[in-house]
Structure 1
Amino acid sequence: MALKTAIALAAGILLAGCAARYTPTPLAANFPTTKQAKLQAAYHWGVIADNIEKRVAAELKKSPPRPVYINEAKDPNPFQRALAAQLTTSLVNDGYVVSRTPAGSLKVDMDVQAVTFAVNRPQYRYHGELAAIGAGVWLLSAVEAPVLFNVAAGAGAVDGHNWINAQFAPGDTPKTEIIITVSVSDQYRYLARNTSAYYVADSDRFLYGIVDPQPEEPKLTRTFQVRGDL
């Protein structure tokens, strides 16, 4: 036992010695695993509008009640138009006075920033494995460790496998994300502000105002420079 402890201690010392004590820049490290929703339907737009309204309303309750005015974008894309309409609906249904003109009202601004990352983003997701390893015995690999199920619990294994995979959106990690910032302010200060981020299906980029450049057409003619006598 003492020998094993000494070996483990020596290994720890060696590993610690391999780490650089000084570096010109911070070492790149991963964040703890988190989840980010992927917008794939107009219904999802209504869900996030309701979530935004609840957060904004919680801040507005800290100040005396005043009408609010939704400051819509001048040339909204389909997502911005739907978000403004659904946020208006949520505020009205929650008992707030939504003014049609900005005079005397708190202004609600909605900034939607679309960002595009590299196409080959890292793909980290948990799929789980379900397999029969014997007569009446199923194996369901879980996040921490594989779990064995007998034939009576086989349906539970299948349900568990489906539940685990249902949490994740299909397809690769999108290269497109949007950052939504909603602010409530008067001429002097911000009274409420909320920022959230979501994945966007790459095939739906145009709904969020992203216009991809058209590929250049190949040139059909070439110009040559002639030197010397003909």
Structure 2
Amino acid sequence: MSSRVWGIICLAATLSGCFQVNTSQAPMATTWEMSEQQRMQAAHHWEVLARNEARGIMTNQRLRSRPLYVFSPQQGTPFERGYHSLLESQLVQQGALVSTQPEGAVIISPTVQVVTHSDRDSIRRPPGTFTFLAAGIAWAFQPLKHWSEPALALIPGAAMLDAFGGNITEVGNTEVIITTRASEFDTLLYSSSNIYYINAGDSNHYESRNGLRVSSQW
């Protein structure tokens, strides 16, 4: 390496030392750690949620031996009506004392909030997605002379897609926050919130006309 190049490198290093490093006039955006969030797109998923919430309620010492009344709005959404029945059934199966009247009972009140994002930045694929695709393409284009039947070369790739394809779904822009609370005399005894992705076309299953809707579009 010539002395001139070394001189330029040394000059650049010297100048860089004159400035503070790792500084910015505004906070820099960074990403979150990898996390997962389930998509709710079947009535069976409502049943799974009801089962989990019933178990959580019954593990609460203050609720285990108390009569419970599951509140349901008169004109509820499909989810509210379905979740009401499923939660009642699951509570009974868990051994809870479920009352048909609110008087003298702890009130179980589910609430639903639909969140619609309209200005999301690009979302990266899960780690390994492109490696998986590249491996599949490379396998498919292996020299066909190694196979007695060329069509057989597609079988391993198809098997890999079958094995892993069901674990991948689109992120989507519509989410739902479902909170199940138990209260008595203005005192909150239990509260559990769950967040799911939902299909945009299914938002009417969860969104009440008189309910709260949150959107990132103002």
Shift of 1:55: 2.1
Matched residue pairs, number?
A: 180
Shift of 1:161: 3.6
Q: What SS does structure 2 have at the residue aligned with 1:134? A: coil
2:41 is matched with: 40
In the alignment, does 2:106 pair up with 1:106? yes
CA gap of 1:53–1:121, structure 2 versus 1, over 3 A, is farther
Task: Report the TM-score when normalising by structure 1.
Answer: 0.67
CA displacement at 1:23 relative to structure 2:
4.9
- The separation in 1 between residues aligned to 2:102 and 2:200, in whole angstroms, is 36
Structure 1: give runs of 5+ residues left out of the alignment.
1-9, 137-153, 212-230
The alpha-carbon deviation at position 197 of structure 1 amounts to 0.4
Separation (CA, whole Å) in 2 of partners of 1:64 and 1:44: 25
Structure 2 counterparts to residues 58-207 of structure 1, below 5 A: 58=59, 60-61=60-61, 65-118=65-118, 122-126=122-126, 127=129, 128-129=132-133, 130-131=136-137, 132=139, 133-135=141-143, 158-169=158-169, 172-207=170-205
Does the Cα contact within 8 Å between 1:38 and 1:200 map onto a contact in 2?
A: yes
Provide the rounded CA distance (Å) in 2 between the counterparts of 1:200 and 1:72: 22
Which residue of 2 is the match for residue 224 of structure 1? Answer: none
Q: Distance in 2 between matches of 1:56 and 1:19?
A: 49
Give the Å deviation of 1:18: 4.0
Say whether the 8 Å CA contact 2:40–2:198 is kept in structure 1: yes
Percent of aligned pairs with the same residue? 24
State whether residues 181 and 195 of structure 1, in contact with CA within 8 Å, keep that contact through their aligned partners in structure 2: yes
What is the match of residue 207 of structure 2?
A: 209
Letter of the aligned partner of 2:193 in structure 1?
T
2:22 corresponds, among 19, 29, 37, to 19
Root-mean-square deviation (CA), in Å? 3.1
Aligned partners of 2:121 and 2:50: how far apart in 1? 28
In 1, the alpha carbon distance for the partners of 2:35 and 2:161 equals 20
Distance 1:121 1:86 in 2: 37
Amino acid of the residue matched to residue 33 of structure 1?
M
TM-score of the pair, normalised by structure 2? 0.70
Name the aligned partner's letter for residue 19 of structure 1.
N
**Corresponding letter in the other structure for 2:40:** L
Corresponding letter in the other structure for 2:99: S
Greater helix content: 2
Judge conservation of contact 1:56–1:193 (CA < 8 Å) in 2: no
For residues 208 and 171 of structure 2, the distance between their equivalents in structure 1, rounded to whole angstroms, comes to 18
* Residues 68 and 210 of structure 1: CA distance in aligned 2, closer, same or farther (over 3 Å): closer
Deviation at 1:29, TM superposition (A): 2.3
1:199, distance to aligned residue in structure 2 (A): 0.6
Deviations 1:76-101 (A, max 9, x none): 10011111111111000111011000
Unaligned runs of 5+ in 2: 1-12, 145-153, 210-218
SS at 1:28's partner residue?
Answer: coil
- For 1:28 and 1:83, the matched residues in 2 are separated by 39
